[in-house]
Amino acid sequence: MPPKPRRQPQRTCVACRQVAGKRGLVRVVRTPAGEVSIDATGRLSGRGAYLCARRSCWDLALKRKALDRALKVTLDAATVERLAAFGRDLPDEADEGADTDAAMTNQDA
């Protein structure tokens, strides 16, 4: 079977490889200036990588250098510390089940 066209982009967490909609993931971006920062708005330009809003994924990504690979950059100590600090503020488990998409289109014209 041919793959379906991807209208709604799905993002993959670089740590656990779980695929989710953009909403459940946090974007980390490498800006054109080479700086790596957390992109809360999802609108910064640059190469992006996604992580679950879950502490364990941030731990894992930093330990395994998954972000380094995804962003093709070597994170310096200050950046690692900044990302680790962000991860520590996240809950241990993402709020699963909040993922229901109730958008339905009724066409009864």
Any contact of residue 15 with Zn ion (CB under 5 A)?
yes
Pick 65 or 76: Cβ nearer Zn ion: 65
**Residues 23-62 interacting with Zn ion (rule: CB under 5 A):** 52, 57
Any contact of residue 13 with Zn ion (CB under 5 A)?
yes
Q: Which of 16, 38, 44, 80 binds Zn ion (CB under 5 A)?
A: 16
Q: How far is the CB of 76 from Zn ion (least distance, A)?
A: 23
SS3 per-residue string spanning the chain? CCCCCCCCCCEEECCCCCEECHHHEEEEEECCCCCEEEECCCCCCCEEEEEECCHHHHHHHHHHCHHHHHHCCCCCHHHHHHHHHHHHCCCCCCCCCCCCCCCCCCCCC
Binding-site ranges for Zn ion (CB under 5 A)? 13, 15-16, 52, 57
